[in-house]
A and B are shown apart, each in its own frame.
Chain A
Amino acid sequence: GAVVSQHPSWVICKSGTSVKIECRSLDFQATTMFWYRQFPKQSLMLMATSNEGSKATYEQGVEKDKFLINHASLTLSTLTVTSAHPEDSSFYICSARDEGGGEKLFFGSGTQLSVL
């Protein structure tokens, strides 16, 4: 099946620094990728829809200036958490759809961000 690679798996950073998370579709092209956030024992909450070659679409309540999304190619989307604070600590997961494989989404393995 289709594979989505997410990197890094975990990151620890100091408050005020920025962190970049990469999401790659390894064997298919994805014009659209999705970024989710998950708190412990809670479900996935959609943050934004990443569109190749255009601006991302953010969900209500998500700060676009804090969570910068770039979808520079058909196989790569990045999420940058700018000026991270402890409340940004969370599990971030990306997903992508293989346009030739129906409606199912394939997910990355997630990134655990801890801001000290």
Chain B
Amino acid sequence: EDQVTQSPEALRLQEGESSSLNCSYTVSGLRGLFWYRQDPGKGPEFLFTLYSAGEEKEKERLKATLTKKESFLHITAPKPEDSATYLCAVQVAGSARQLTFGSGTQLTVLP
């Protein structure tokens, strides 16, 4: 069974305190790994797609990396506006192209 596990469940950082969120996955065949940001009461907002081990993508203070077993979302010098729930999802090869989501990491950045 395909599984996606995110850790930690919740993370509180001081403004400027860099950290990483983890997404580990067990799937029969990875087609793509996705990172989304979700604000309360809103739908997920797309951040990154990673397709193969060793791939990295950056956007402002965020950097996503991928290995054969996990992905990391690195947050450098976060700001309070980065506070949100970060969701990791996988698309499995041979599936109907839907996404399987992890439970998310709720990030709070304190000023």
Q: Using a CB–CB distance below 8 Å, which chain A residues touch chain B?
A: 1, 4, 6, 32, 34, 41-46, 49, 57, 91, 93, 95, 97, 102-110, 112
Contact = CB atoms under 8 A, between A and B. Distances in A.
Please list the 5 inter-chain residue pairs (A to B) with the smallest Cβ-Cβ separation, ordered nearest first: A107-B43, A43-B101, A43-B103, A44-B101, A110-B43
Interface in B52-111: 87, 89, 91, 96-104, 106
B44 interface: yes
Q: Is the interface of B mostly helix, strand, loop or mixed?
A: strand
Given A103-B31, A103-B91, A105-B34, A49 B98 contact: yes
Interface in B29-47: 31-32, 34, 36, 41-46
Interface residues of B, number: 24
B44 A1 contact: no
